[in-house]
Amino acid sequence: MFPIFKYAIFLISFVSLTYARDFYSLSVIDAHGKTVSLEQYRGQVTLIVNVASECGFTDGHYKALVNTKNLLKDTGKFEILAFPCNQFDGQEPKDIGEILEFAQTKYGANFPIFAKLNVHGDDVAEIYKYLHGNSFSCIM
């Protein structure tokens, strides 16, 4: 089993194909402030994950995400979409530029990292509203 599944403490959501039409009609904001349609990920297994640079598990999580992406990248059917979030004990206080530099320089992050967002509460991002209501989610 991939280390990410064994050691993950952050939210992992697997998008159910039953709801793919709705999920892929959503848009998110990338790290550069541009709107990105999730339609471009249709037909791929898509792992949605929130990340934080100051969590005690950050090192293992980023390494596992990069290794998992490397293992599956040649299939062309797998993508990781990372969303920084500061709602868990303030473990992501950095701005998006610092987050990108950290993830890419220290870990060689080879997957898209999007703008910071909220994954719960009154100001929850649309993608997480959808995931909370329509996908299998677990905390491992």
Looking at the annotation, which residues are catalytic?
Answer: 55
Helix, strand, coil % (nearest 5) of the chain? Answer: 40, 20, 40
Sort strands 11-14 and 45-51 into parallel, antiparallel or unpaired.
antiparallel
Say if residues 57 and 7 touch (Cβ distance below 8 Å): yes
H or E element in which residue 45 lies: strand 45-51
